[in-house]
Amino acid sequence: MDDLWQALHALARAEKDWLVATRRDLHRHPETAWAEYRTASLAAATLEEAGFALRMGGDALNAQARPRRLDPEQVQREQARARAQGADPRWLARMPDGLTGLWGDLILDDETADESGSPRGPLIAFRFDMDANAGLNECRDADHAPAAQGFASCRDDAMHACGHDGHVALGLGLARVLAALRPELARRFRGRIRLIFQPAEEEGEGAPGMVAAGAVDGVSRLFGIHLSMQAGKSGALVCGTTHFLATTNFEVFFDGRAAHAGLAPEEGRNALLAACTACTALLGIARHGEGATRINVGEMRGGEAPNAIPAQAWFRGETRGESSDINGFMMAEVRRMVQGAARMHGCTARLLCQSYCPGASSHPELAALVERVARDMGGFDPILPRAEFWASEDCCWFMNKVEEDGGQAAYLQLGADRPSGHHTARFTFDENVLPRGVELLARLALVSLARRDA
């Protein structure tokens, strides 16, 4: 397939300016979980123009399977923001109630099923997350590239601090390159290439609803991808990420009794003190002897005034575990300590699990294929066969479903220089890696279609 590889290489290089411009446009207009209206509209328009068959809204995301939804007023505000920033109302109408997930299929033969109804060729899927980080204010210093070059976030409460703007650009660039080659691909291959654009990854909420809607049903091979992370150098590549941790996001509501802090403090029940006691206790949970664990409380609110005993308090945190059972142990300890802290201070506590993500690991055979394709392509150094992640990603929902159904899944990390860590106000990445990433993904799609056992 030397001629195809040459064509792919030329097309991917030719897309560089478009990829950079698209990434910068997305970076300037970040959208948080379940509000990715403008981003999804851009994805839908690009996929439609490239000849992909689209599924959107309730057809692509089962509303009953998502752990959280925006309230109607938030939906209206976010849709209005998207329209004001140039989103096509035609696409917004197809994404009601925050159902911002979508996927598109490039069908490489006119008759996709035989007489039994079975697909003639394999279904190869790629997953890209779309949401930005909530609550982060992007750096405005002159030495921060997005600020200096005019594409820093236009919002004070959100920014792309994890590279999802680059992930969307990679997915849409892949669509454009494949579309340009479609006549030749249809002549050589049978099957489908599916590009999945997922909302709400940062909260670990977006994948379950898309899995429930059938996003990876029948998928032979699934590829997830992330920029930088453990491949922090431009040119580096992690071929298969392993040891994703199971995780649960939770929030706790404490109720006490208000009182005058000077006149009658004995009449009060301090909800904020109960929350602080619980927070300290959680950080002291004994670690599990059979695998890695994590615990974090990342946000807390409570109290009304310095001279009033606070009657309400709230915090939000997360557990992680090397397996679902170990993560379950952590959550059981959270419940026990939260209730104990509340009773200690005469308060009550209500714990809600906001979202859950299982653990996963890349399939070793598919990771080995990624390594072979990358070495044949050239331009990657170093190439790391695997990396242990020890964090969480809701792509694991997709990965586990594919492997439960007999397919294979791998999660790549595409190296990119960055001046600061992920989830920081100074995060950005080397955009020069985008064409290389598009070419690699396109090669993986074609190699997978060419294999009879894919």
Which residues are paired to 294 by β-bridges? 320
Other C-beta atoms within 10 Å of 259: how many?
18
Query: Could you tell me how many residues make up the chain?
Result: 454
* 127/171 Cα distance (integer angstroms): 8
- Which residue in 300, 295, 312 sits closest to 257, CA to CA? 312
* 23/432 Cα distance (integer angstroms): 11
Residue that is written with structure tokens 């692509």 in the block: 60
- Residue 133 has phi, psi (to 5 degrees) of -85, 125
Q: Report H helices in 88-234.
A: 89-92, 145-148, 164-180, 182-188, 206-212
423 is in an annotated binding site: yes
* 356/393 Cα distance (integer angstroms): 10
Contact in structure between 437 and 170 (CB atoms under 8 Å): yes
202 is in an annotated binding site: yes
Q: E-assigned strands of 187-292? A: 192-198, 221-227, 237-238, 241-242, 246-255, 259-260
Q: Report H helices in 299-433.
A: 324-344, 364-377, 395-404
345 is in an annotated binding site: no
162 is in an annotated binding site: yes
* 389/445 Cα distance (integer angstroms): 24
Other C-beta atoms within 10 Å of 301: how many?
11
Q: For CA atoms 224, 226, 230, 235, give the dihedral sign.
A: positive
* 341/349 Cα distance (integer angstroms): 9
353 is in an annotated binding site: no
Judged by DSSP in three states, 121 sits in coil
The gap between the terminal CA atoms of the chain, to the nearest Å, is 18
Judged by DSSP in three states, 309 sits in strand
Residue that is written with structure tokens 């290489």 in the block: 9
- Which residue in 114, 181, 142 sits closest to 438, CA to CA? 181
- Please give the annotated binding residues for Mn(2+), written as ranges: 162, 164, 202, 226, 423
Binding residues: 162, 164, 202, 226, 423
